[in-house]
Homo-oligomer: A and B are copies of this chain.
Amino acid sequence: MKAYALLLALAFPALAQVPYERILHAVSEPASWLTYSGNYNSQRYSTLNQITRTNVERLKVAWMYQVRAHHKVETSALVFDGIMYITEPPSDVTALDLRTGRPIWSYRRSIPAVPVCCGQVNRGVAALDDQLFLGTLDAHLVALDMKTGRVRWDVEVADYKIGNSITLAPLAVKDKIIIGIAGAEYGIRGFLDAYDAKTGKRIWRFWTVPGPGEPGTETWSGDSWMHGGAPTWITGSYDPETNLLYWGTGNPGPNYAGELRKGDNLYSDSLLALDADTGKLKWYFQFTPHDVNDIDANEIPVLLDTTFRGRLRKLVLFGNRNGFYYVLDRMSGEFLHAKQFATQTWALGLDGRGRPIPNPATAPSPEGAVVYPDDDGAANWYSPSYDPQTGFFYQNAREKGAKYYLTEAPYIPGRQYLGASRQSLAGVEPWGALRALDALTGEIKWEFRYPTPPWSGILSTAGGLVFSGDMEGNFFALDAANGKPLWRLQTGGSIVSSPITYSNENKQFVAIAAGSTIVVFTLDK
């Protein structure tokens, strides 16, 4: 690893600390964590195996860093070359020394009053060459000097005043920075953008809601496409062989008032496959046509090459907020398989092509309609993990329903655009579980129960471990094979982030944002 880093240092003397080739080969550099999900395939799996089933009980805190946050800390750190890069709410970046946990520099951004549905959060940066890339709550994309945190360029991606905001970690691909947008709750029109990493110039934009004259516009009644949502607020995946980006999209706007937007509402609640150079749509798969329950497909697409039903296939695996786990062919978008992994009542089932049969009784109504999952979903943005050793897809599942009363949904710029009010279900305690799904069948092989629905991502490692956390503050490790709890620490803060692992000076570390604290663990002596 050191030899490789040295080679790179020699090959790219001035401008190439994290060249594209380094991210491309991230799987052969497990000491680092170079991109949001660890790798372009988004498996959030590490081949590091110093921490194992048998020694994990010796895990202890190596250092902590306390964020000056008044908001949820959802950051997933990047780690390379002796430094950890985290984001802090609302849109700050801090570089931490891996040895001491102490800050080297911080970029602090003043944020105007941005309308946001779900907190002033940020999930991380992207790295490319000698720069870091940050999406900001006020919908800018910023390039920072990796060494100093100084701003290289700062471009407006969209107008925050009408509800556009950026909370996801960008994705660096070749010479471009891919960035999505949030704001469906405010009736934005979604898109995915690519910017030139050197200049900040926009290279392409793919509108996730087709306008007049574009294919798919017929799936929107009247002018409803104008505020059609379909946001792109969690980081997607990339397949360098096909040069395709895989990116999920969120709910159509208004979230619940389907009558205002008759039709399938493409490309909301879909997985998109886009050419990374041009942003052209190769294929799409819409999980939830005409969604009236706010069941975003803003989850992580996990790429896997394996034998499926006797044939070597390039798959994309997707644990969806709507309660179903999907296996698609990622060359064509062909639906191969789906299986329910959590309670859902919005669909009576799926047809042979994966299209749901909606349950009309669960659509919001003036009298109120109960539906599972609620609008926080059976899954959400937090990362799942695929472990090639077990063949399991680890998914944190939320077991929670709610009752929705249909309301008016006038579009007023900068105001919420929903169309229903939510009521909790009396006498029903929501809960959750970390579920190990057979990645090819979706069958639940084991589960680890939570007292309340989780918001933590999952990391699996070659040490035979699965790391995750709960809202009660526990960060823990399970046996990847059978879900047996092996270790935990009460961190004192709800875990609303996804774990990573890395290695430094021949020691493996695991890091998580817990409450307002970044906690880094390693084995004791």
- Footprint of B on A, CB under 8 Å? 57-58, 60-66, 70, 100-102, 472-473, 489-493, 514-518, 524-525
> Given A472-B102, A517-B517, does the pair A63, B489 have CB atoms closer than 8 Å?
yes
B490 touches A100 (CB 8 A): yes
Q: Once the chains are docked, how many angstroms separate the CA of A311 from the CA of B65?
A: 51
Residues of B within 8 Å of A100, CB to CB, are 490
A57 touches B525 (CB 8 A): yes
Residues of B within 8 Å of A101, CB to CB, are 473, 490, 492
B490 touches A64 (CB 8 A): yes
Residues of B within 8 Å of A514, CB to CB, are 66
> Given A60-B60, A60-B524, does the pair A492, B472 have CB atoms closer than 8 Å?
no
> Given A70-B70, A102-B472, A517-B517, does the pair A492, B524 have CB atoms closer than 8 Å?
no
Q: Once the chains are docked, how many angstroms separate the CA of A101 from the CA of B490?
A: 7
Q: Once the chains are docked, how many angstroms separate the CA of A133 from the CA of B364?
A: 51
B524 touches A58 (CB 8 A): yes
A491 touches B60 (CB 8 A): no
> Given A60-B60, A61-B60, A61-B61, does the pair A518, B490 have CB atoms closer than 8 Å?
no
Q: Once the chains are docked, how many angstroms separate the CA of A100 from the CA of B489?
A: 10
B525 touches A491 (CB 8 A): no
Nearest CB in chain B to that of A494: its residue: B66
A102-B472, A102-B490 are known contacts; what are 10 more A-B pairs with Cβ within 8 Å? A57-B525, A61-B61, A62-B490, A64-B473, A64-B493, A66-B491, A66-B517, A101-B473, A102-B473, A492-B517
Residues of B within 8 Å of A102, CB to CB, are 472-473, 490
| The 3 residue pairs across chains A and B that have the minimum distance between CB atoms | A64-B492, A63-B490, A66-B492
Residues of B within 8 Å of A66, CB to CB, are 473, 491-493, 514-517
Residues of B within 8 Å of A493, CB to CB, are 64, 66
Q: Once the chains are docked, how many angstroms separate the CA of A515 from the CA of B492?
A: 13
Q: Once the chains are docked, how many angstroms separate the CA of A513 from the CA of B486?
A: 28
Q: Once the chains are docked, how many angstroms separate the CA of A58 from the CA of B524?
A: 8
Q: Once the chains are docked, how many angstroms separate the CA of A102 from the CA of B472?
A: 8
A64 touches B491 (CB 8 A): yes
Residues of B within 8 Å of A60, CB to CB, are 60-61, 524
Could you jot down 20 A-B contacts, CB within 8 Å?
A57-B525, A60-B60, A60-B524, A61-B61, A62-B490, A63-B492, A64-B473, A64-B490, A64-B492, A64-B493, A65-B492, A66-B473, A66-B491, A66-B515, A66-B516, A66-B517, A101-B490, A101-B492, A492-B518, A517-B517
Q: State how many angstroms separate the Cβ of A519 from the closest Cβ of chain B.
A: 8
Q: State how many angstroms separate the Cβ of A335 from the closest Cβ of chain B.
A: 44
Nearest CB in chain B to that of A67: its residue: B492
Residues of B within 8 Å of A64, CB to CB, are 473, 489-493, 517
Q: State how many angstroms separate the Cβ of A491 from the closest Cβ of chain B.
A: 5
Q: Once the chains are docked, how many angstroms separate the CA of A101 from the CA of B102?
A: 26
Residues of B within 8 Å of A490, CB to CB, are 62-64, 100-102
Q: State how many angstroms separate the Cβ of A89 from the closest Cβ of chain B.
A: 14
Q: Once the chains are docked, how many angstroms separate the CA of A65 from the CA of B515?
A: 10
Residues of B within 8 Å of A472, CB to CB, are 102
Q: State how many angstroms separate the Cβ of A146 from the closest Cβ of chain B.
A: 22
Q: State how many angstroms separate the Cβ of A451 from the closest Cβ of chain B.
A: 11
Q: Once the chains are docked, how many angstroms separate the CA of A58 from the CA of B489?
A: 16
Residues of B within 8 Å of A57, CB to CB, are 525
Residues of B within 8 Å of A515, CB to CB, are 66
Q: Once the chains are docked, how many angstroms separate the CA of A472 from the CA of B65?
A: 11
Q: Once the chains are docked, how many angstroms separate the CA of A490 from the CA of B61?
A: 9
Q: Once the chains are docked, how many angstroms separate the CA of A493 from the CA of B101?
A: 11
Q: State how many angstroms separate the Cβ of A58 from the closest Cβ of chain B.
A: 7
A489 touches B61 (CB 8 A): yes
Q: Once the chains are docked, how many angstroms separate the CA of A97 from the CA of B65?
A: 25
Q: Once the chains are docked, how many angstroms separate the CA of A63 from the CA of B521?
A: 14
Q: Once the chains are docked, how many angstroms separate the CA of A518 from the CA of B492?
A: 8
Q: Once the chains are docked, how many angstroms separate the CA of A515 from the CA of B101?
A: 14
Q: Once the chains are docked, how many angstroms separate the CA of A518 from the CA of B66?
A: 12
Q: State how many angstroms separate the Cβ of A99 from the closest Cβ of chain B.
A: 10
Q: Once the chains are docked, how many angstroms separate the CA of A58 from the CA of B57?
A: 13
